[in-house]
Amino acid sequence: MLEINSKAPDFSLPDENGTIHKLSDYLGKKVVLYFYPKDNTSGCTMQALEFKRLFDDFNNANTIIIGISKDSIKSHLNFKTKYELPFIILSDPDLEAINAYNVYEEKSMYGRKYMGVVRSTFIIDEKGFIKDIKRKVNASKNAEDTLCLLNK
């Protein structure tokens, strides 16, 4: 289980254009790594739009925003283009980062059990260490709450 002050697991995942990003590419900057269930759903869209709204504030705090879901590159391209998202979103269909960060769990909806991504956010410092972990976050408040934590 990941803990605060532990080294953040590195990963190598493609963005909506197929460009590979590694967490280690962003050493020297803070990173907000947020995991979300699915592109173009109401909660995930709201969450992304809140990160977009506060993008300049994160940028001024020397912080990179990276969203990760198991959706395809094509789905991410559609999602990012449709909402003009200014930050990085990565495709993780093989659950590389999703499993490394322990955010894939059994969920239940209408009595049906299934495996899915738990909406979670990690703040990673300039040296690659986890400084904060929030699980089962509120989609509408996640960006603002995260920004407050960064500015502490």
User: Which of the residues are catalytic?
Assistant: 44
CB burial class (10 A; 0-12, 13-18, 19+) of residue 57?
A: middle
Please state, in angstroms and as integers, the Cα–Cα distance from residue 6 to each residue in 1, 96, 99, 130, 142, following that order. Answer: 10, 18, 16, 6, 22
The single residue listed with the structure tokens 């059994």 is: 106
